[in-house]
Amino acid sequence: MDLESWPPQEIGDKLVMWNWYDDWATYAKNAFSKEFDVNVTNSGFSSPEQWYSQLQGGNSEIDNISATANWVERSIENDLLYPLPVDKMPSWKNITKRVKDVGTYQKGGKTYGVPESIVLYPLTYNTNHFNKAPTSWDVLWDESNKGKITMWDNSTVSCQIAALYTGQNPIDPDDFKEIEEVLKQQKPLLKTYWGDYQQGMSMFVNEDVVAGPLTMGRTYSAKFHENAPVNYTAPKEGALFTSDLFVIPKGAPNPMTSLQFTNWASQKKHAAKLFTEMGYMPAVNIDSELSKEQREFTNWPDSWNLVFQKQLSQNVRDKYSEIWTAVKSA
């Protein structure tokens, strides 16, 4: 199958997508179906392993995936994705430089995805408790905040925050023992670990906690939908960010329809809908579509030290998993 031409030829009448931005996916299903007379279905998912294992087993169902960058890297390495003719796709010009420059979804001169969103893992804080944004992750180790802080029950994210806090490279740290030690020191200070996004957001909405890692999207929902006194920042030690991308897996039964959808979804009005529905930063510049308050919320100062969360080595993944098991059982 050749996906190198544009516009797509022989568009089918079906599209099966796996997109975990559920509310936006509902909007996209209806709008794309109406515009192109295509029957669209969507399967949300809680873990990328769900679609990745299906691709490994031989995909014959999924046309389009909202895939996180590090999983896209794995998929490229294992020849599970089609390269896309991005230079010919009209909406490619809408993708912002911040995420175009990352390039982990490109290999051998080919591009295997179109960025959908930019996902920041910031420090979220209660604006009633802090009269200005905290400047350091050390608020999560501050005894004065005992019982009012939280951490994400996620081995990679929590270990990477600990790596940043201890001045290490979160992608390739050199002192795993120190990471484990500070996470064990932190544990008695926590209200609890949060396990799912709704739980994490609810703790901030109910003001059970005043600081902790939470995604930008859930912070947006807490602030704009629940009127919670929250905001987010990137501490001086840095914060991780990644990207979700539209990809077309090998074996897709409707690859041309998927290619048309990928270009459609990257138009400004559809990308803006992603932000207003979900609160995540689209990979498209949508400033002209937002209110002043929304633009302020999406403003990431150039001074922020943001580290792209590219694929970790197997050794680092294993070490982070071992550390997290030790911390949780301590």
Whether 180 has a pLDDT exceeding 70, the answer reads yes
What would the mean pLDDT of 58-71 be, rounded to a whole number?
96
Whether 103 has a pLDDT exceeding 80, the answer reads no
In the chain, % of residues over pLDDT 90: 82
What would the mean pLDDT of 222-234 be, rounded to a whole number?
96
Buried (b) or exposed (e) across 34-60, using 16+ Cβ within 10 A? eeeebebebeebeebeebbebbeeebe
pLDDT tens digit sequence for 186-210: 999 999 999 998 999 999 999 999 9
**pLDDT class for 227, splitting at 50, 70, 90?**
very high
pLDDT at residue 2 in the model: 73
pLDDT at residue 79 in the model: 96
What would the mean pLDDT of 100-122 be, rounded to a whole number?
91
Summary mean pLDDT of the chain: 94
What is the separation of C-alpha 268 from the centre of its chain, rounded to a whole number of angstroms? 19
**pLDDT class for 32, splitting at 50, 70, 90?**
very high
Instruction: Answer whether 155's CB lies under 8 Å from 163's CB.
Output: no
Q: Which of 11-15, 31-35, 181-185 has the lowest mean pLDDT?
A: 11-15
pLDDT at residue 154 in the model: 94
**pLDDT class for 299, splitting at 50, 70, 90?**
confident
pTM: 0.86
Instruction: Answer whether 80's CB lies under 8 Å from 56's CB.
Output: yes
Whether 1 has a pLDDT exceeding 70, the answer reads no
Whether 311 has a pLDDT exceeding 90, the answer reads no
**Cα–Cα distances in Å, from 322 out to 16, 204, 242, 328?**
37, 29, 23, 10
pLDDT at residue 12 in the model: 87
Choose among 37, 27, 96: nearest CA to 269: 27
Highest mean pLDDT of the ranges 150-154, 289-293, 299-303: 150-154
pLDDT at residue 44 in the model: 86
